[in-house]
Amino acid sequence: MMQHQLAIQARFCPEILERILRVARHRGFQICALNMDHTTDSDNVSIELTVASQRSVNLLFSQLMKLVDVAGVEIRNKESQLISA
């Protein structure tokens, strides 16, 4: 299984995290780690998402970019590998 880290910039709204997690689940990605940073003086949120899957991370990337409130997605460490027991 390959592990990928995504940096997501989005407009903060109550349902944005649920939408992102639903897209990841529907596309066959397992959530390994999640970190969200929202400053009170900003309308934006930064989400660091680590996912694992046999599927190409580009599939998840393109689907996340289609979400209305998502401003940008960056694939960080594309080539790391998760060793499963």
Strand partners of residue 81: 2
Q: What are phi and psi of 26, to 5 degrees?
A: -65, -25
- State the Cα–Cα distance between residues 19 and 76, nearest whole angstrom: 21
What does the CA dihedral 11, 15, 21, 27 come to, rounded to 10 degrees?
-90
pLDDT at 77: 73
Query: 3-state class of 11 per DSSP?
Result: strand
1-52 confidence digits (pLDDT tens) = 899 999 999 999 989 999 999 999 999 999 999 999 997 788 999 999 999 9
pLDDT at 25: 97
Residue 8 structure tokens: 């997501």
- State the Cα–Cα distance between residues 83 and 85, nearest whole angstrom: 7
pLDDT of 85 > 60? The answer is no
CATH class of residue range 1-74: alpha beta
pTM, two decimals, is 0.86
User: Would you kindly state where each structural domain of the chain is located, as residue ranges?
Assistant: 1-74
